[in-house]
Structure 1
């Protein structure tokens, strides 16, 4: 006898909209997004600057009230019970939010205490996260002394303090050097693999979405314009002779000394 799971998806979004008031008239930043994200998926939310990515993210994390539509996060209605949604998500903003006057340990313990953990539990959670994210050696440093990659690891640790079911990352590698970006990619993969956390990742880097996401949603002018796995989207939009990206190549020629074209 077959059974059907009754566990709700991590995210279910229907006809989500947001309109800003402006002196020149209403600005329709998000124009009717429909989206379902299964639990345990890494979703890449991809689009150019001004496409509506951050506006959508702010609505999904309860920081901006939707103009219309329905959102359920981990089975909880965002409009009716935003507190329940906030208890089940982690959010790492693009700009970060560390206090340069605080130490790493203090930031982690304070965040845990804000989630109403007892003092001993908060300290234990701070140590656990520091170990998992590779920042144990930094616990007694002030946050102002951290490198860009170290700060990002700490910010992600803060987003994981409450054992979130869904972790929202807003352009997490912006401004990082290539080595720090690669380390952060590995960290995101481990968060999903080790804890089953659903990751909602906004980015405008094509290589980042390709490397990390199980599925990519492309947004432009407030609307979803493409959706699928990285392989499916590449095959659809940049096919080679046999219809797959693996067969595609680019030929570059110049006006210098005569040479054979080189395929790359």
Structure 2
């Protein structure tokens, strides 16, 4: 986290620093900044905001009024920053950028989870993220998903075997049963890792269910076909819906009885949650 924040501040301040504040603000000036949510949503990013201001000046004092995962109302003050005015202004944009991004993810995750509960109140599927994250921000963005009530899929290529169409295409030259062979090879090589198979057709679902992976990913299937796929699996593996799923589609997909719904949009295209930092000079 320290290196990430250091790089972000270096990008914004360059070698000169905040040219405007250095020209206009006395070194002795002190202020209080109020970070205010301009929209309803879910708060996330407190640790990064604290680290931004810590690196901008050890004389700064940051006080949070909410914790990660808490719901916000429009106009709510989420934190105050007190200390040298120049230092507050130096960190303002970087801190707000982190906060907007992560709170936007958490807010979308909460909306997706609510849609899943609406579609299937008795057995709502879990909302999963994907690896479609911002480079270097994956751990923080996945934390934001959890703050919104979602769950994390694999962290990277290293912690789970996910057999996709390109893997199967590569194996098709070697065997007439690429799905079964892929699962067998994965089990031999990584006996402690969970195995998932991506399926585009019902025939692939039948072959995958027979191979007994831990999860079967139902890719780009409309709800009626997905329901048939789940019946074919018949409890032999957990099922995951995937493929460009949007918030408006989640309730209908939840009604199929699928176990998980993965939503790449959680981290590749969430709307930022709007925050502002309102500055008030401290008395001399």
> With structure 2 as the length reference, what TM-score do the two structures score?
0.31
Pick the structure with more strand per residue.
1
Pick the structure with more helix per residue.
2
> With structure 1 as the length reference, what TM-score do the two structures score?
0.33
